[in-house]
Amino acid sequence: MSTQRLFDRIDSVRLQQVTKKYDELFAVEQLDLDLQGGELLILIGPSGSGKTTTLRMINRLIEPDDGVITINDHDIMEFDPVRLRRNIGYVIQDIGLFPHMTIKENIGLVPRLEGWSDQEISDRVKHLLDFVSLPPESFMDRYPGQLSGGQQQRVGLARALAMDPPLLLMDEPFGALDPILRKQLQDEFNVIKQEIGRTILFVTHDIDEAFKLGDRIGIMSDARLIQIGTPEELILHPENELVSDIVDAKRKFKHIDTLRVKDMMSPITDKYLFDAGMTAHEAVNRMTQTNVELAIVLDGSDLVRYVEMADLVQQKHDDVTLWDIARPTPGFSSNDHIASALGKLKDMGESLGVVMEADRPVGLFFLDNVLLKLI
Ligand code: ADP
Ligand code: MG
C-alpha cells in the first residue's frame, strides 16, 4: 500500500488564537483548544456558536484568518490539504455517500485513489463493514439507497476509517436519527471507540450524548470557547450561567422517589412492533425500510421480547424466526416507580424494559439512560 502517512499517532492537536470571520461576523474568535492524543473531546454549544467551523479548520476545508493550528507540533499549513484530509477521518450528519456507487466502492474510494490493489481494497472494506456491524457479504454490493439511515451512518464511519486515520473529526454524526436508534449507535460507538483508540473531536448539541461519549467537554458560545473540562469539573465548577444551564439539564431529576417510568421512557411507535413469526431475514428488510434497529416482538402472550438488528443480521439460516432469538424482558406500566423498575431490570440482568399500556408497547426504558440522568 503506497499511502503516505503524515502521522502514525496523535500526540496533540493545538489551536492557538484561531479566528475565522465572515465579513464583520466572527464564526470563531481567538480560540485556544488543546486536544490530547487518545482522548475524545466533545464540542457542544448552541447552533451558530462556531463548532463546525472549528472542525473544518482542522482538516483545512476552511482556512482561518488568524492563529495557528498544529498537529504533533507541525503547523498544518505546511501540509498539502488533500494529503492532510486523507490522514484525518471526517464523519458528518448527512454523510453524502455517492448514490451510483456500491457500498464497497464508496468505502474503497480513497484507498483506490491511493493506488491500493483490488484485493487490498476488498479486504479492507470487509474488515471495516464487520467492524461497524454490517455483514460484508450482504452489504458490500448494495447501493446507498438500499440502506436505512442508521446503516448509512455506519457506512459513513467505515469510510472515514478507510485509511486508518489517527485523528477523527465527527460533526453531529447521530443528529438526524430518532432517539432510540441514536442511543443504539452511541452505545455501539462507545464500544468501537475503545477498539480504535484514536483521537477524536466530536461535535454535538445533545448534552446526554456529550456526557455519554466524552472524556472532556468544551462548551462554545458566540464563537468562543467558554469552558473546557471533564464532566465532573463542569458540573461542580461551572464558569458561568450558560455552562450551568447546559450541564444542569442532566441534574433536573434529583428526587428518584417521585419519578415514574413515564418520566424517563423513550416513546415508540408501531414501527418498532414485530410479529413473532416473522423470519430474521424479513425483519431485517423491514427494519431497513423503516430505519429502526430494534424489534419489540409480539406473540399474543403476556411476555415481552425484543431483539436488535445486530443479532438478526448474523443469522445464516432463512427459517430462523424472531421467536427463536428474541430475549424476554420486563414489561412496565408507565406509572411504575423508577426504583421498582430498576430493581426488576437488575433481577433479570436486562438493560432495557418495555413500557406497556393496555397490552400495547408504548415505550422503552433503558437502564443506562436512567442512570446517566441520575448521576
Ligand atoms: P455551529 O456548527 O456551532 O452551528 P458554525 O461553525 O456552522 O456553527 O457557524 C458559526 C457562525 O458562522 C454562524 O453564525 C454562521 O452563520 C456563520 N457562518 C458559517 N459559515 C459561513 C459562511 N460560509 N458564510 C457566512 N457565514 C458563515
Ligand atoms: Mg454545525
pLDDT tens string for the chain (375 positions)? 445 789 989 999 999 999 999 999 999 999 999 999 999 999 999 999 999 999 999 999 999 999 999 999 999 999 999 999 999 999 998 878 999 999 999 999 999 999 999 999 999 999 999 988 899 998 999 999 999 989 999 999 999 999 999 999 999 999 888 889 899 889 989 888 887 778 999 999 888 899 999 999 999 999 999 999 998 899 888 999 999 888 875 555 556 777 899 988 999 999 999 999 999 999 999 999 999 999 999 887 767 899 999 899 888 888 999 999 999 888 999 999 988 898 888 888 888 999 999 888 999 999 888 877 766
Could you count the other beta carbons within 10 Å of the beta carbon of residue 93?
16
Which of 87, 93, 92 has its CA nearest to residue 167? 87
Residue entry with cell 467537554: 217
Ligand 1 pocket test target in 19, 22, 29 with most atoms within 8 Å of CB? 22
Q: How far is the CA of 162 from the centre of ligand 1 (A)?
A: 29
**Is the distance from CB of 221 to CB of 28 less than 8 angstroms?**
no
Ligand 1 pocket test target in 49, 206, 226 with most atoms within 8 Å of CB? 49
Q: Which three cell numbers stand for residue 330?
A: 420486563
Which amino acids bring their CB within 6 angstroms of ligand 1?
Answer: 22, 27, 45, 47-53
DSSP state of 47: T
Could you count the other beta carbons within 10 Å of the beta carbon of residue 116?
20
**Element holding 289 (H helix, E strand):** helix 280-290
Spatial separation of the C-alpha atoms in residues 307 and 295, rounded to whole Å = 5
Q: How far is the CA of 190 from the centre of ligand 1 (A)?
A: 29
CA angle 314, 319, 322 (to 5 degrees): 65
Could you count the other beta carbons within 10 Å of the beta carbon of residue 340?
12
Angle between helices 149-160 and 118-131 (to 10 degrees): 130
Torsion-angle region of 302 (φ positive above 0: left; ψ -120 to 50: alpha; else: beta): alpha
Taking the whole predicted model, whether its pTM rises above 0.75 is answered as yes
Beta bridge partners of 75: 70
Instruction: Give the C-alpha distances (Å, rounded to integers) separating 156 from 65, 93, 121, 146, 162.
Output: 30, 9, 16, 15, 10
Atom 14 (ligand 1): residue with closest C-alpha? 48
In what side-by-side order are the strands of the sheet with 12-22?
Answer: 25-36, 12-22, 66-71, 74-75
